[in-house]
Structure formats: C-alpha cells, structure tokens
Copies of this chain bind each other. A is one copy, B any other.
C-alpha cells in the first residue's frame, strides 16, 4: 500500500522484438550524438530515428539519462572486451607488439567517430559514479596496468600514473586528429606509438 515513489526501473525486454527496439534506440542515440551533437540529442529525436514511438522508449528507459548511460556502458564494455581479447592473444609475445595492438584497438574505437567518442566521454563524466559506469572502465585500465607491471620496464613514474598518462596522451592525440579531419589511421597509430613508447622509455627500434 506504500505508494511506490520511484517506479523507475522499467521493463526488461523478454521477447525478441523488444530487444530489437532497445538496440535500435541505442543505435539511434549514438547516431544522433554523432551527427547532431547534444543539441539534437532529444528523446523524441532518438525514438524517431530508431523508428519507434516515444512511448516505447520510456518503457525500457526510465529517463533520458538512462539511455545515455546504457550507451556509455555498451561502449565501454565493447572496448573492454576488445582490449582483454588483445591482451590474451598477445600473451608471451613482445610488449611492443601488444602495445601496438592495444593502440590499434583504442584508436579504432575513437578515431572513426570522433564526435561520438567525445560526447560519450563528456556524458560519462556528467553521469558520474551513478549508473555504475565505472566497472568496464576499470577493466580497460587494468589491461594496460597489468601489462606495464609485467613488462619489467623502468617506468618514469609510478604504475598508476604512467597508466593514466599513457591513456590520456593517446586519447588526446586521437581526439585532436579526429576533430582535425585526419583520415590516415596507420599514420596516427605510428604517432601514438611513438608518443607512448618514448614516454615509457622503450628504446627506439
């Protein structure tokens, strides 16, 4: 008899079509962020581009931020999975090769849709620790952290700092390149590899 104040969490899709609806919504959300930016990023626009009614959207997401959070989470988990996969595949092989492959993954993730990556990043920080966004991000960081820990390299700063900085500088270079309209991904990879390896103090090949 207690008036359910927050009936927030909505239905979880059980049939195939509702799963498709949710997928379409997230895909549409990403495309709108990418092409229209935050200005055009409205729930009505998302539903429309998804080919779904606005009512359907709110049957699976309690509010707009929940859509964004789901988008962020999907994005992070995809990234985490790819990074872990690479780490696993390069077990035992030279660190340089693994770093190369990880850079490839990170760049691929951010460089093809620079505006989307940028806005997802922004929203991720705005939504903060709510919505439990950070788990996947932790996994991503952990891949690189453990790689560096096992590398035997003489790091210029403590492990966590180096991990963070390597991510940050790669992210910064990719972001600038993407917004600058560059399209040559191998070249970008080369530059980032140079920045990362020289930061880490790995001697040039």
Cα A25 to Cα B157 in complex, Å, equals 42
B180 near A176 with CB under 8 A, answer no
A126 near B37 with CB under 8 A, answer yes
Quick check: is A89 within 8 A (CB to CB) of the other chain? Answer: no
Partner of A173, one of B122, B125, B165: B165
Contacts of A39 in B (CB 8 A): 126
A21-53 CB mask vs B (1 if < 8 Å, else 0) is 000000000000000011100000000000000
Quick check: is A90 within 8 A (CB to CB) of the other chain? Answer: no
Q: Which 8 A-B pairs have the closest CB atoms?
A: A172-B172, A168-B176, A169-B169, A198-B198, A168-B172, A168-B173, A171-B172, A195-B199
B179 near A125 with CB under 8 A, answer yes
A interface residues with partner B (beta carbon < 8 Å)? 37-39, 118, 122, 125-126, 156-157, 161, 164-165, 167-173, 175-177, 179-180, 191, 194-195, 198-199, 201
Cα A97 to Cα B50 in complex, Å, equals 55
**Tally of this chain's copies:** 2
Chain A interface SS verdict (over half): helix
Partner of A199, one of B37, B161, B198: B198
A195 near B179 with CB under 8 A, answer no
Contacts of A157 in B (CB 8 A): 191, 194
Contacts of A173 in B (CB 8 A): 165, 168-169, 172
Cα A52 to Cα B75 in complex, Å, equals 43
What are 26 A-B contacts with C-beta separation under 8 Å?
Answer: A38-B38, A39-B126, A122-B122, A125-B179, A156-B194, A164-B176, A164-B177, A164-B180, A165-B173, A165-B191, A165-B195, A167-B176, A168-B169, A168-B172, A168-B173, A168-B175, A168-B176, A169-B169, A169-B195, A171-B172, A172-B172, A172-B173, A172-B175, A194-B199, A198-B199, A198-B201
